Structure 1
Amino acid sequence: MSAGVAFWGSYFVSNSQVGAVPVEISVLLGRSVLPMAQLLRMGRGAVIPLDAHEHDEVWILANNHPVARGEIQIFEEKISIVVTRPANVYDFMAIGN
């Protein structure tokens, strides 16, 4: 098999084909557990407290799977995330337990 080609089931898949697959990236700032009654009473201006602090690392998710940790950065009024290290899936699963 040549470089840049992978065997997947009964198909040969090239790196260019895999590279074209869209991946949704999301960032998890923190979590909160609230009673449903409190959630239903919330309206505009309600504040949801999170289990995170200002300088904590955030979780970077690819298709809802943890892939890295990062830090929030604001540059020219745009929010971005700087990747700091790979994700430890076991740490992610332990959140909230």
Structure 2
Amino acid sequence: MGDDDIAALFDVDVEISVVLGTHNIRVGNLLRIGRGAEIYLDRRISEPVDVFANDRLVARGEVCIVGEKVGVTITEMVKADRF
């Protein structure tokens, strides 16, 4: 694969999502949640967050604050399973 082949990938859109944790809740309870309500997640604050690219786990990282925005510092790349 040459440089031109790799350069073609630079314009491909990828959806990135970061999972801080999960919580199971019934729809009825979800509908009753109001502003300021707390939902407790299944992870501790010190645990790394999962980073997904197009719904595939690709990395883990730490949450960071940059100005008024929240970001993620990648601390570990996750090896893809080969088929």
Higher relative CO (Cα under 8 Å, sequence separation at least 6) belongs to 2
RMSD: 2.2
Taking the TM superposition and a 5 Å limit, the aligned residue runs for 1:25-36 are 25-36=16-27
* Percent of pairs with identical residues: 37
Query: Aligned runs of 1:1-97 on 2, under 5 Å?
Result: 3-4=2-3, 14-87=5-78
TM-score (norm 2): 0.79
Q: How far apart are residue 44 of structure 1 and its match?
A: 2.1
How many residues in Structure 1 have an aligned counterpart in Structure 2?
81
5+ long unaligned stretches in structure 2: none
Q: Which runs of at least 4 in structure 1 moved beyond 4 Å after TM superposition?
A: none
Unaligned runs of 5+ in 1: 6-13, 91-97
What is the TM-score with the length of structure 1 in the denominator?
A: 0.70
Distance 2:22 2:79 in 1: 17
Which structure is larger by alpha-carbon Rg, 1 or 2?
1
Is residue 59–residue 87 contact of structure 1 (8 Å, CA) maintained in 2? Answer: no
Assess, with a 3 A threshold, how the Cα gap between structure 1 residues 31 and 76 changes in structure 2: closer, same or farther. Answer: same
Whether contact under 8 Å (1:67, 1:87) holds in the other structure is yes
